[in-house]
Structure 1
Amino acid sequence: MRAGMMAMVIPLAVLSQGAVPAGPSRERPSEPVLVLGTFAGYKPGQVAVTYDPKLVPAGAAVAVAHVPPGEGAGTGSVQLRVQGLQPGRKYGAHVHTNACGAKGEDAGPHYQHMRDPVTPSVDPKYANPRNEIWLDLATDAQGNGASRAVMEQGFRDRHPHSVVIHAEHTHTGPGHAGQAGPRLACVNVDF
């Protein structure tokens, strides 16, 4: 994606029909979705926000795709692709409960299928890639990277609203499980 390109939210069913909708809405939250964005500083309505332009430069591109699990059987997935980040670097990334805001903390905690009664969640029983959606990635020499998380279950009574990119790969040990350092960037996704 080129710098200055408009961010879009497109239901995947529409893409398969060869048309692009006029606006960024979709009919049902259980439909597949694709979000494309270009990182920039925060402003209301910004799809992709950078909080650390050194590690997630303004103008870098991002795509998030969500395919929910099928009715009754099958798995779903969330995919993250980035272009133009720092080359040869490891990043953590997770699905978060709230939309992006002026500060990284505005995105709230990690989405968890089974919620940890303790906040922040650092217990591996709750903070793990089966209960949360982890999208850690490493960039290549051009600053491009991708990751994919398989989902055995869909979002039921509540839906997350963003993907946050962190400064480190996600820790897994007790007392640090789920932690991945400062929040560098955020992408609004209406899962």
Structure 2
Amino acid sequence: MTAPLAAALLPLALLAPAASPVSVVDADFDPATAFVPPAAISYAQDLVPYGSHARVVTDRSTPGRTVLTLTATGLAPAHEFPVHLHTGSCGADPAASGPHYQDAVDPVQPSTDPAYANARNELRMVLRTDAHGDGTASAAVAWQPRPGGARSLVLHAGTPAGPHAAGDRVACVKLEK
């Protein structure tokens, strides 16, 4: 390669690689107090035991669409976990994950207005575990989260009101590093 050609290509080699439209987070659930801050935190060992595992695949390869798939192993058997994107990062306090991520943000928080708090404006799914505590859930929405806007995926306990009622936050998976 000639020196002028090599000099011309050098700036291209220094460019940061483009972000992949598909991201994968693989993590074991640990306590928030772990020595190394965990990528996945359990707040309720009876439902999300330490050492249970989550794999989150976020696919943004189609413009204007997001598909998120959660696969979990070792959770409480035969349980329904409502799952949502949240705006904050996981922390020692379950509330650190903030409110549900909304494509169009409700100006009144906490958001209870059905014009904003709905399955078209929030990514919602229900993870149903089998007799071994394993399960997979997937959801697709017709939008892509704003950069830095959806920082975690939260598993809720569920409530007697049904599988879509959120209940307490029992686990959190960090989506951003």
TM range (shorter): 0.7 to 0.9
Give the alignment partner of residue 40 of structure 2, picking from 12, 28, 48: 48
> Which amino acid in the other structure matches residue 70 of structure 1?
T
Corresponding position of 2:106: 116
Corresponding residue SS for 2:76: coil
**What is the rounded CA distance, in whole Å, between the counterparts of 2:124 and 2:159 in structure 1?**
10
How many positions carry a matched residue from both structures? 159
Instruction: Select 1:139's aligned residue among 129, 136, 149.
Output: 129
- The letter of the residue matching 2:176 is D
Residue 142 of structure 2 aligns with which residue? Answer: 152
Higher helix proportion (structure 1 or 2): 2
Moved over 4 A (4+): 26-30, 169-172
Structure showing greater Rg: 2
Q: CA RMSD of the aligned region, Å?
A: 2.4
Structure-1-length-normalised TM-score: 0.75
Question: How big is each residue's C-alpha offset from its partner over 1:62-86, in whole Å with a ceiling of 9 and x where there is no partner?
Answer: 0111001523x6x330111111111
Alpha-carbon distance in structure 2 between the residues aligned to 1:77 and 1:170? 28
State the 1:29 CA deviation. 5.6
Write the distance in 2 (CA, Å) between the matches of 1:168 and 1:28.
38
Distance 1:152 1:102 in 2: 32
Gaps in structure 1 of 5+ consecutive residues: 1-25, 173-177
Give 1:5's aligned residue: none
TM-score (norm 2): 0.81
Other structure's SS at 2:41 match? strand
Q: Is the contact between residue 136 and residue 170 of structure 1 (CA under 8 Å) also seen in structure 2? A: no
CA distance in 2, matches of 1:119, 1:103: 19
Q: 3-state DSSP class of the match of 1:34?
A: strand
